[in-house]
Amino acid sequence: MTRPDDLETLFAQARTLSPADEGAAERFLTRFRAVAAPRRPRPAAWWPTLLASAAVVAGLLTLRPAPDLPASAAYDAYQSAWGEGW
């Protein structure tokens, strides 16, 4: 069995930092800082796709009228301005 004096000696040795302990702590902190470092946010890559899609839709709508529009005087004037086939 271990005597209380031996336990006190063991606890004192465990509380004392050695150069190996300090090196291990430094390695841990170095890795922790690298992982926990704030990262710069990436620029949003979705906006070029959104702009391109909007340009395609706008181009299709302005170049050719929708075929299901109701017949009206304004639409007839627009259709005659574009000519036949539109």
- On whether residue 29 sits in a domain, the answer given is yes
- On whether residue 80 sits in a domain, the answer given is no
How many distinct structural domains can be found in the chain? 1
Alpha helices in the chain (DSSP H): 4-15, 19-36, 47-63, 73-82
Q: Which of 86, 30, 39, 43 is nearest to 62 (CA)?
A: 86
- On whether residue 48 sits in a domain, the answer given is no
pLDDT digits (tens, 9 = 90+) for 39-82: 777 777 788 888 899 999 888 878 766 566 566 777 778 778 87
Tokens found for residue 2: 């271990």
- On whether residue 46 sits in a domain, the answer given is no
pTM above 0.85, yes or no: no
Q: What pLDDT is recorded for position 12?
A: 83
pLDDT surpassing 80 at residue 1: no
* Structural domain range at position 19: 12-36
